[in-house]
Amino acid sequence: MAHTEQMASGAIQDLVPAADLADAALLSVEDLHVEFETSAGRLRAVEAVSFHVKPGELVAIVGESGSGKSVTALSVMRLLPKRNARVPKGRILFEGRNLLDLPEDEMRRIRGHQISMIFQEPMSSLNPMMTIGYQLMEPLIIHLGMNGEQARARAVELLGLVGITNPEDRLKQYPHEFSGGMRQRVMIAIGLSCNPKLIIADEPTTALDVTIQAQILELMKKLARELNIALVVITHNLGIVARYAERVTVMYAGEITESSTAEEIFHRPRHPYTMGLLSSVPRLDEPKMRKLETITGLPPNMLRPPVGCRFAERCPHAIDLCSKPPVLRGTAAGGLSACHRLDEIEAGGLPWHGAQHAAAAKGVPDPQTSDQVLVSVEGLSKNFGAMRAVNDVNFDIMKGETLGLVGESGCGKTTVGRMILGLTDPSEGAIRYGGTDIAAADINEMRQIRRKLQVIFQDPFSSLNPRMTIAQIISEPLAYYRLFPTRQERQARVIELLEQVGLPAHFAVRYPHQLSGGQRQRVGIARALAMEPDCIVCDEAVSALDVSIQGQIINLLEDLREKLGIAYLFIAHDLAVVRHISHRVVVMYLGEVVEIGDRDQIFERPQHPYTKLLLDAVPIPDPTIEKTRNARIIKGDITSAPAFAKGCKFAARCPLADDFCRTRIPRLEDHEPGHRVACFKTNSGEV
C-alpha cells in the first residue's frame, strides 16, 4: 500500500508543475489521504487525492456514492468526525497555508468566513429551533464583529440577494416555514454572508426538484461570478457538471481517475470509468437509439480495495498490467488520467464497450404498444384532509407498454401509484383491471388482480423485510398463492428468478443487509416477478441508485418487459430516464394531469408550458450544448399556487398566464392523435 502511495504522489510531483499551480491556486489539495476506523476495519476513504482551485473558478468533483468526494470536501473544512477519521498524509493549502496544520481556533476563523460550505439536505441543514435571522446573522457577528443592528441590515440584504421576498419579515421566521428550495437559498445566503473566497457545495440540489435545482444552480453560478467566489460543486449528476463546471475531477473508489476541462471530460474522456459513466446515463436530448451501455459489476469493497487499478474488475479494457496500481499521468489536453492504457486511449484505440455492447448494438425495436387496455384509471381523486392530492386523473395502461408518470414532488404521482396498487383508497373514481373495478372486486377477483399488479419501490434499503432471507422474501408469495406447492419447486423457481434478475443462486440464503443497493433492487424485482404479473408499478425504482447501477437496472427492466410482456407504470422525476424507458408519458402538476402523449410527442413536441419548462430545466450531460443554451427558469415553486386557486393551477408560475387562465380550469383536450394537453395557450407559440 505504501508503495502505491509513493508512486502516486511521486507521479503528481513529477508531472504537475507544482510551483505554477501553487502560485495561481486558491485551494490546492495535495496527496490527501483519509481513513476511518470502523468496527469492520480500517476504511481508506480517500487515497492520494490532489486537485486545485483557482480564484473565481467553477470546479466540479464527480463520483458515485463511496467515491470519497464528500469526504474530500469535509476534510478541506476539517469537519470530518473526530472520533474515527484520520488524515495520515497530505496537505490542503488555502492561500498558501496548510489547513491541516492550523490550530483549531484559526481553522474556525476560516470556516464560514474564507471558505463556506453548502450541504445536500436543505430540510435538515438549518436548526429548526432558531430563526432564519439568527442563523444568518451568526457568522456576521462571529467573523466580521458586526453588532446586531449591522448584522440584521446585512442579513436583509443577503436574503434579497438570494431572491427571497419580504426579507425583513422572513428573518423572524423558522426554517419549517420555508420550502426546500427557499431553505437552500438561505443556506447560500449564509455561505455568502462573509464574502468568502471559496464555497464548497456538496450535492447542493440533489434533494430538490428539477425546476428548483435549475433556480438554485443558476443563482449560485451568477453570484459566484459576480462576487468572484471560487465554487467547488460536488455531485453525481453529470448534467449539472456539464452546465456549470469549467474543470472536472472524476473520483472512483477513493481515488482520482481523471481530471480535465469539462469539454475534454465529456467529449474526449481519457479514462474507461469516465467513458462508462457517460454512456450509463440516459440523455434527455437523444431519442432512444440503444440500450444503455452500462458498467458491469459493483464498486470494490473499500475495506479491502484491490491492489491494482480499482476500476480494473469492471473495466472492459483491463489487462495484466492493471493489477498494478496506476499513476495519474498528464494527458495531451493538459488533464490527468490514472489509466495504464492512457496512450492507447489518446490514440483513439480504446472506445468504451460495455459488456452488453454486442447485444445493444442491435438496437431496440420500436415501441410495440398494443391497443389492448390493461389498467384504466377513471376520474381518480384523493383527498388528504382538506388537501386534494389527486384530482380527476384519467389514463390507461396498455398491455406490454411502459407508461411514464412524471412530475415534481407533491404532484400526486406516488399517490396515484398507491391507489392503483390498492395501498391507498381513492376518494373518488375507479381503477379497472381488465374491465373489473378494483374497489368492487370480491376476494377471489382481488386475489387474481393482486397477483397481476405488482410493485417495485424506490428505497431498496427499506423495501425488503430485514428479518427474512432473500429466498424467503421471493418464495413467500409462491407459497401463499400455491403457485408452486412443493418446497423443491419453489426453490427451483427462486433460483430461476434470481437468475432472471442477474443474481447468483447463493444469494438466496443471504439477508437484505448483506446486499448492496442495486442488488436489493434486483431482489425487489424478483419478488414482483414471482407473481408473474402483467403490470408492475415502478415507484421511483431507480432514483436511489448510483448512475452505473441505475443503468444496469433500467436495462434489466427493459429486458424483462421484452421477454415477459410486462407493462410498467414508471413513476419517476428523472425525465431523461423516463424518456429512455417509456412508450407513453403522463405529466402531472399539483394533482392533475397537464399533458399526456407518446414519448416523442412529449419530449419533442411538448405543448403544455409546464412540460416545456420542465424539460428546459434538466441539464444535459454535454457542456457544448449546455453552454450555448439559455436556461429558462420557472419562477416560484410548487407552493406558489394557492390550494384554492380557481383557475389553472400552473397559472401562478406560468409565463403565458393571463386573467383567463387564472379564472378558468383548463381541461385535457386532444392536440394531435394520442396527445392531450390541458392548457388554454397551447397554440400561442413559444413559452
Q: Map the footprint of other proteins across residues 526-545, applying CB under 8 A.
A: 527, 531
Strands 230-235 and 58-62, bridge-based pairing: parallel
C-alpha pair distances (Å), 477 with each of 9, 420, 445, 450, 531: 55, 19, 17, 11, 7
Residue of 165, 131, 158, 130 lying closest to 144 (CA atoms): 158
Asked if 482 touches other proteins (CB under 8 A), the answer is: no
Q: How far is the CB of 177 from other proteins (least distance, A)?
A: 8
**CA dihedral defined by 55, 58, 59, 60, rounded to 10 degrees?**
160
User: Largest Cα–Cα distance in the chain?
Assistant: 78
- The minimum distance between CB 329 and other proteins, in angstroms, equals 35
Strand 675-677 and strand 592-598: the pairing is antiparallel
Decide if 68 contacts 256 (C-beta within 8 A). Answer: no
Position 80 contacts other proteins (CB under 8 A) = no
Letters for 382-411 (x = contact with other proteins by CB under 8 A, - = none) are ------------------------------
Q: How far is the CB of 367 from other proteins (least distance, A)?
A: 27
Which C-beta is closer to other proteins: that of 152 or that of 268? 152
In whole angstroms, the minimum distance from the beta carbon of 404 to other proteins comes to 20
HEC string of 190-218 equals: HHHCCCCCEEEEECCCCCCCHHHHHHHHH
* Cβ proximity to other proteins, 528 vs 620, nearer residue: 528
Question: SS3 letters for 2-54?
Answer: HHHHHHHHHHHHHHCCHHHHHHHCCEEEEEEEEEEEECCEEEEEEEEEEEEEC
Rounded to 5 degrees, what angle do the CA atoms 382, 386, 390 make?
25
Count of residues in contact with other proteins, rule CB under 8 A: 71
Contact pick of 494, 553, 556, 577 for other proteins (by CB under 8 A) = 494
C-beta separation of 643 from 412 below 8 A: no
Region of 106-114, 149-157, 589-597, 608-616 interacting with other proteins (CB under 8 A): 106-114
**DSSP code of residue 299:** P
> Smaller CB distance to other proteins: residue 438 or 594?
438
For the chain, the first-to-last Cα distance in angstroms comes to 58
- Residue 422 touching other proteins (CB under 8 A): yes
Query: What letters, b where the CB count within 10 A reaches 16 and e where it falls short, cover 296-312?
Result: bebbbebeebeebbbbb
By CB under 8 A, name the one of 79, 153, 307, 643 that touches other proteins: 79
Q: Min. distance of Cβ 342 from other proteins in angstroms?
A: 37
Binding to other proteins in span 575-604, by CB under 8 A = none
Rounded least distance, CB 522 to other proteins, Å? 14
Determine the interface stretch with other proteins among 234-242, 476-484, 575-583, 628-636 (rule: CB under 8 A): 476-484
Instruction: Choose which of 29, 212, 253, 508 interacts with other proteins (CB under 8 A).
Output: 508
Least CB distance to other proteins at residue 572 (A): 16
Stretch that binds other proteins, among 77-85, 89-97, 407-415, 430-438 (CB under 8 A): 77-85
- Give the whole-angstrom CA distance, residue 139 versus residue 117: 13
Task: Using the minimum distance from each CB to other proteins, give the nearer residue, 369 or 639.
Answer: 639
Q: Which three cell numbers stand for residue 484?
A: 408452486
Q: Is 286 in the site for other proteins (CB under 8 A)?
A: no
* Residue with smaller CB distance to other proteins, 208 or 495: 495
Q: In angstroms, rounded to a whole number, what is the distance separating the alpha carbons of residues 14 and 23?
A: 17
In degrees and rounded to multiples of 5, residue 221 shows phi and psi of: -65, -45
Instruction: Give yes or no for a contact between 623 and 263, defined as CB atoms under 8 angstroms apart.
Output: yes
Position 129 contacts other proteins (CB under 8 A): yes
**Shortest Cβ distance from residue 475 to other proteins (Å)?**
9
Stretch binding other proteins (CB under 8 A), from 116-124, 349-357, 373-381, 551-559: 116-124
Counted residue by residue, the chain has a size of 687
Q: What amino acid occupies position 104? A: E
98 vs 462 by CB, closer to other proteins: 462
- Chain centroid to Cα 130, Å, comes to 30
Question: Measured between alpha carbons, how far is residue 418 from residues 72, 161, 426, 481, 537 in Å?
Answer: 40, 41, 9, 22, 9
- Considering only residues 130-159, where is the footprint of other proteins by CB under 8 A? 130, 135, 138-139, 142-143
Which residues on neighbouring strands pair with residue 675, listed in sequence order? Answer: 672
* From candidates 218, 378, 459, 600, binder to other proteins by CB under 8 A: 459
| Piece of the chain touching other proteins by CB under 8 A; list 304-312, 320-328, 381-389, 448-456 | 448-456
Interface pick for other proteins out of 222, 225, 447, 605 (rule CB under 8 A): 447
Q: Which of 153, 347, 423, 440 binds other proteins (CB under 8 A)?
A: 423
Candidates 613, 618, 607, 633; CA nearest to 580 is 618
If binding is defined by CB under 8 A, does position 370 make contact with other proteins?
Answer: no
Q: Which is nearer to other proteins, 278 or 473 (CB)?
A: 473
Q: Kind and range of the H or E element at 555?
A: helix 547-564
Asked if 524 touches other proteins (CB under 8 A), the answer is yes
Q: Does 187 bind other proteins (CB under 8 A)?
A: yes
| Measured distance CA(315)–CA(309) in Å, rounded | 10
Beta strand spans in 101-183 (E): 115-118
188-247 residues in contact with other proteins (CB under 8 A) are 190
127 is a site residue for other proteins (CB under 8 A): yes
Q: Which is closer to other proteins, CB of 466 or CB of 642?
A: 466
Q: Could you give the count of Cα atoms lying within 13 Å of 11 in the half-sphere of its Cβ?
A: 20
Q: Shortest gap between Cβ of 174 and other proteins (angstroms)?
A: 4
Residue from 66, 68, 112, 300 in contact with other proteins (CB under 8 A): 112
> Which of residues 495 and 617 has its CB atom nearest to other proteins in the complex?
495
Among positions 469, 516, 639, 682, the unique one binding other proteins when judged by CB under 8 A: 469
113's grid cell: 468566513
Exactly one of 58, 397, 471, 679 binds other proteins (CB under 8 A); that residue is: 471
Binding mask 10-49 for other proteins (x = CB under 8 A): -----------------------------x----------
Secondary-structure percent of the chain, ordered helix, strand, coil, rounded to 5 = 40, 20, 40
Beta strands 402-406 and 567-572, pairing class? parallel
CA-closest candidate to residue 500, choices 557, 541, 550, 462: 557
Using the rule CB under 8 A, is 297 a contact of other proteins?
no
Provide φ and ψ at 470, rounded to 5°. -60, -40
Q: How far is the CB of 200 from other proteins (least distance, A)?
A: 9
Q: Which is nearer to other proteins, 181 or 619 (CB)?
A: 181
Is 172 a binding residue for other proteins by CB under 8 A? The answer is no
Q: According to CB under 8 A, which one of 109, 605, 632, 635 is a site residue for other proteins?
A: 109
Is the distance from CB of 305 to CB of 311 less than 8 angstroms? no
Site for other proteins in 614-653 (CB under 8 A): none
At closest approach, how far in Å is the CB of 172 from other proteins?
11
Residue 514 in contact with other proteins, rule: CB under 8 A:
no
In the set 103, 145, 466, 673, which binds other proteins (CB under 8 A)? 466
DSSP one-letter code for 627: H
